[in-house]
Structure 1
Amino acid sequence: MSGAATPDPYSDPLVFGQRLQILRTRRGLTREQLGGLAGRSGSWVKGVETGRLKTPKLDVVLRLAEILRVRDLRELTGDQSLQIDLFAGPGHRRLPEVKAAVDAFPLGREVEAPPAAHLGARLARAWAARHRAPDHREVVGAMLPGLIRDAQALVRQAETVKRRRAAHAVLAEVYSLAQFFVAYQPDAALLWRVVERGLVAAQESEDPHVIGLAAWLAAQAQRDSGPSGFEAADEVTHQTLAYLAPLLPDANDDVLAIAGALTFETGYTAARRGETGTAWRHWDQARDVAARLPAGYFHPMTSFSRAIMGAHAVTVAVELHQGGESVRQATAADADVIPSRPRRARHQIEEARGYHLDGQPDVALATLARAHEAAPETTRYNGYAKRIVLEEAEGKSPVRRRRASELAVKLGLLAA
């Protein structure tokens, strides 16, 4: 390696501080920004990077890994015994089949497109399975290859402009479902192909609801890529909300709900930045949108509703690292009213983060256990859940270590 080359934290025998500096630089963060997000100072980050300060304890290492969106903990620590995927799941057994369907480039009419109504009914069943099945990735992963193939055929074989737009709407929705499956799996390139194709198909559909859904998912992908993606996430949400704004006075519930979901996304990204006032202001705006929806309504893809605003409040407080406020919001929210199993589990994971921030690790572990019971695959793929379990598995309390270790086995972090 030449002296001018950038060291590679994946292969070179670098010390922790060097790895931290390389990964921080790659994410586009200054020392002050990383320190602020980690509850430390810029000078502390400099001290660790230069070796003046020793490698921090596991809880701080896991927090840094979370901020930097480190997928494999070895990237940061260099410890080859710590082969733990934090923000990528284990790779579902259905992933190769879904990837093959996405990567295929059919041009002819080998596949006869099914009637649009038939394909729409299959897609609705897939969304229902995504919300109701505890093993939702398994069920959806089995359905996706056929849905992708048939939706592509529907677009190719559409004979009028109107039918082609409708077919693109179906294809965009299939890609949206595929993004839920592909997210947090160990194939980032596949995720971005799905995101981009979903956006293109949505634009071709000219359907406001479909466009909003694709934008909502694209913003999540940008934000979850780390701090360097925050600006892109904001751009997607702001542009889409500007497009939807003139339509909202007469919009149906689904379009109104997707606008509310996008409004909350702006607050979520602001919370990730640590912008307290902006985050809660957008949460208030999203709540105002939710108040216009029927009491029992839940958006069929995003779960946006009146009832979900309590869960969203927990997320904002947790992302702002407000432990006491997180617990207060968790106490006020009711997970049982969320009909979607993966969304309920996600909310319970956010509650666990809040309890952990507030110094209540036993409650956090119990809440994670409930999340795992609601949707095991959601919990297994969630980096925040894994971070809490790993930290407590190394804690001082023998009873808590045992409970955390048992949960770690269920999440696939430790061998049985």
Structure 2
Amino acid sequence: MVRAWPFVHLPLGGLMHTPHKGTVEAILGGLNALLTHKVHPRRRKLWVLNLRNTGQNFWSMWSGDMDHGSSSSLMAPVSEGSLRKGRPLTPLEVFIELCLKERTMDEFLTYLIRWIADRKDLIHLCCKKLMIESIPFKNIMKFLHLMPLDSLQEVQVNCIWQLSTLSLFAPLLGQMRSVQRLILSHSCVSAFEEQEQQVVQFTSQFLKLHHLRDLSMECPFFLRGCLDQILRCLKTGLENLTIMHCLLTESDLTHLSQCPSISQLKGLDLSGVVVTNFRSAVLQILLEKVAATVWELGLDECAILDSQLEAVLPALSLCFQLRSFSLRGNILSMAAMEKLLLHTAGLPNLSKEFYPAPRESYSSQGVLLQGRLAQLQAGLKEILKVLGQPRTIWLSSSPFFHCSDDIFYHMEPIAYHCNSSAFLMPLTKAFLEIKFRYSGIV
């Protein structure tokens, strides 16, 4: 099939749900015939072999006029003539996605990469997405040295790496110059491993990532007190920034609020960054910096108190683009919840609201009191009615960090639906000064 294929693009990944070495050998045998001129290059139709399993139906793609360069879709048409005209000896392009998750490198991938590396003048390997999971680091290094890293657009690392390991990975990261999305998940680096040279070796690589748009780091304890080292190396404006479960300092958040790269931020998630001992103004300034552009805001498990929430509410009320806001895992009173609903009522795009159950829902021992919670839920629904807007909020029933998604998502939402948007109550300055008090609730 490979030798006789009459179209520009062959999306074989859609036929290989579980690829293995035998399949690859058959494919590469066909390519050998094409590349060694058993099929004359000027008569050759096939220029793109796609081994990614995109989940799309092979038979709807088989004619091959597809945009093979897209990282998210293969359905945009391109001209077959433009792919062939004037470049009869251009290398054949092979597209793959890599997920390194076995104790030893997958036999299929190992054979494929080595075969292509031996024919690098005839074949151009394009890998847009790389995921690294449980695999010995020495194997990762050997594998990545065989690849053209400059084609990568998304890189996700789900490994528990020490800082010394991360610094060894750093030179490879610096070669991934086209990367747009970088995710470091569960990189639980020891908080006691403080080696400045290794931190600099890693953070300095961001100077080379000129296309970075999404940056996500979970448990990067080595960033405490030195977040500015990454921030000043960012040369592009970020669209999404996630820093989760990290003991940042007040100085770190100050540097973040001053960073030019967040001026167009659409997504900001600082869940698990405890701010209990920070001045309220620090978080307020940060929200003011992103207020004009932010769509999604996550402040779960930040140990935010009533006073800190109230201090940032004026800035929050200016986030007119906000679509999703989450405060789960913080311990807030009913009074603070009332003020929160008031200040967010004027946000026209806000449709996903995830909040903690009020502090009064729990006994002094931290036990959830279902009857009390039901009273408070009724009170919150009355507030929504007074505000006069169609709105749904979700409450988390756990006051503790890392609350169960099952507990959260199976709770009944608090919703208010009005008959017509014409009856929406305007939120004037005077209205924002109203204080809600419900007998028996607060």
TM-score range, shorter chain: 0.3 to 0.5
Q: What TM-score, normalized by structure 1, do the two folds share? A: 0.37
Higher strand share: 2
Q: What TM-score, normalized by structure 2, do the two folds share? A: 0.35
Which structure has the larger Rg?
2
